[in-house]
């Protein structure tokens, strides 16, 4: 086992809290809330984890969320992650959440954010992990729905560090949300966006130029465009790469084919993250360990990845400098 991969203090910057929902907890909450899942038991659910692309994953991911109903459910979901993240070396996490996936089912926005916030605000004291929230808009929903979500979030502005963009990428370019992100920036939120996971490099350009993102989530397809690579390097725009996710969702065939090493060689500010670890076969330490093995990354490369994670984070500058 690569002990350094787990022991290195690191920031997790690309983690969907709903993607940490382990089958055991899914069925516990299903029973507690009297919700019938389309899978009879844990084994049947796990058999559905044979994904062929992003869409095939999202179908299962959204189906499992149906059991999240109360504030306590959301607190328990985040607590389950936070209580185990330290053993992966996580000392800071900026977690995504998908409010529209819950409000569309009739769960009030307040239930979602109050539940998550209870876990997040007490995380440092209980687990030694500073935590913050990034609210994502679902890009396969309308601009109008994103604006309505932004309005609902305004009273909770100080609990949210940034807004992001996720869900089915192809056919839903960042430009669709230019006006929403302009408003979010005007409200003082930072911005990030999934781009270049399945979508083309043009989506990464749009995320930079139209959504003014501080970092790009995934961004692996940026390598297809040398001008884009030069821009990312020159402006030190971080990329939150998720290797095990990319294999599970067939963005790459195997970890040995993953472009992470090329990205490091191009001097990009690349970070390694876990995306939806309950579904993709491992948390962040496992991602570090498995890419180290598959791509023959030495300890110095792992250290660079961990340092990049703090540089790329939204931690306040003085705390951040202590990690660098
Ligand atoms: N939502 C959860 N995981 C995602 C991913 N990898 N890409 C886009 N949207 C997501
Ligand atoms: Zn993601």
Compute, in angstroms, the gap from residue 318 CA to the centroid of ligand 1.
Answer: 31
Q: For the purposes of burial, counting CB atoms within 10 Å of the CB of 212, is it exposed (0-12), middle (13-18) or buried (19 or more)? A: middle
How would you label 214-226 residue by residue, b for 16+ Cβ within 10 Å and e otherwise?
ebbbbbbbbbebe
pLDDT of residue 321: 85
State whether the beta carbon of 241 lies less than 6 angstroms from ligand 1.
no
pLDDT of residue 318: 83
Compute, in angstroms, the gap from residue 39 CA to the centroid of ligand 2.
Answer: 24
Compute, in angstroms, the gap from residue 225 CA to the centroid of ligand 1.
Answer: 23
**Binding site members for Zn(2+):** 14, 16, 194, 275
Compute, in angstroms, the gap from residue 255 CA to the centroid of ligand 1.
Answer: 19
Residues 6+ apart with CB under 8 A from 10: 88, 89, 90, 91, 284, 288, 305, 306, 309, 310
Enumerate domains of the chain plus CATH numbers. 3-318 (3.20.20.140)
Residue nearest to ligand 1 atom 10, measured at CA: 167
State whether the beta carbon of 19 lies less than 6 angstroms from ligand 1.
yes
pLDDT of residue 316: 87
Cβ contact 55:314 at 8 Å: no
3-state secondary structure of 81: helix
Residue nearest to ligand 1 atom 8, measured at CA: 167
Question: Does residue 197 carry a catalytic annotation?
Answer: yes
Distance between CA atoms of residues 236 and 307, nearest Å: 13
State whether the beta carbon of 197 lies less than 6 angstroms from ligand 1.
yes
pLDDT tens, residue order, the chain (324 aa): 799 999 999 999 999 999 999 999 999 999 999 999 999 999 999 999 999 999 999 999 999 999 999 999 999 999 999 999 999 999 999 999 999 999 999 999 999 999 999 999 999 999 999 999 999 999 999 999 999 999 999 999 999 999 999 999 999 999 999 999 999 999 999 999 999 999 999 999 999 999 999 999 999 999 999 999 999 999 999 999 999 999 999 999 999 999 999 999 999 999 999 999 999 999 999 999 999 999 999 999 999 999 999 999 999 888 888 888
pLDDT of residue 217: 99
State whether the beta carbon of 69 lies less than 6 angstroms from ligand 1.
no
pLDDT of residue 324: 85
Judged by its nearest atom, the ligand closest to the C-alpha of residue 192 is 2
Distance between CA atoms of residues 171 and 148, nearest Å: 22
* H helix intervals, 242-316: 243-248, 260-265, 277-280, 284-295, 299-311
State whether the beta carbon of 240 lies less than 6 angstroms from ligand 1.
no
Compute, in angstroms, the gap from residue 75 CA to the centroid of ligand 1.
Answer: 21
Closest ligand 1 atom to residue 61 Cα is 2
pLDDT of residue 319: 84
Enter the pTM of the model. Answer: 0.98
51 to 110, 233, 250, 272, 298: CA distances (angstroms): 32, 32, 8, 21, 31
State whether the beta carbon of 194 lies less than 6 angstroms from ligand 1.
yes
Determine which one of 12, 71, 152, 197 is catalytic.
Answer: 197
Distance between CA atoms of residues 197 and 90, nearest Å: 24
Residue nearest to ligand 1 atom 6, measured at CA: 275
């Amino acid at each position: 086992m690569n002990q350094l991969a787990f022991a290195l203090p690191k920031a997790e910057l690309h983690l969907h809290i709903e993607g940490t929902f382990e089958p055991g907890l899914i069925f516990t909450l299903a029973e507690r809330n009297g919700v019938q899942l389309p899978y009879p038991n844990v084994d049947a659910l796990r058999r559905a984890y044979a994904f062929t692309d992003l869409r095939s994953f999202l179908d299962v991911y959204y189906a499992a969320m149906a059991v999240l109903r109360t504030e306590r459910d959301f607190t328990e979901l985040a607590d389950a992650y936070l209580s185990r993240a330290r053993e992966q070396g996580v000392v800071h996490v900026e977690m995504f959440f998908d409010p529209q996936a819950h409000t569309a089912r009739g769960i009030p926005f307040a239930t979602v954010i109050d539940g998550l916030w209870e876990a997040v605000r007490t995380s440092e004291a209980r687990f030694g992990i500073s935590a913050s929230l990034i609210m994502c808009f679902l890009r396969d929903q309308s601009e109008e729905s994103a604006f309505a979500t932004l309005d609902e979030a305004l009273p909770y502005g100080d609990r949210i560090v940034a807004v992001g963009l996720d869900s089915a990428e192809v056919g839903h370019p960042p430009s669709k949300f230019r006006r929403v992100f302009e408003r979010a920036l005007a409200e003082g939120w930072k911005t990030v966006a999934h781009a270049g996971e399945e979508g083309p490099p043009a989506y990464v350009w749009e995320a930079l130029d139209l959504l003014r993102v501080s970092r790009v989530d995934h961004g692996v397809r940026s390598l297809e465009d040398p001008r884009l690579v030069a821009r990312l390097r020159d402006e030190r725009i971080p990329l939150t790469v998720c290797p095990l996710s990319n294999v599970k969702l067939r963005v790459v065939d195997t970890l040995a084919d993953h472009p992470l090493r090329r990205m490091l060689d191009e001097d990009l500010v690349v970070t390694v993250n876990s995306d939806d670890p309950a579904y993709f076969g491992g948390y962040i330490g496992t991602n570090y360990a498995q890419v180290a093995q598959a791509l023959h990354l030495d300890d110095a490369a792992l250290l660079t990845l961990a340092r990049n994670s703090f540089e790329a984070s939204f931690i306040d500058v003085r705390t951040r400098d202590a990690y660098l």
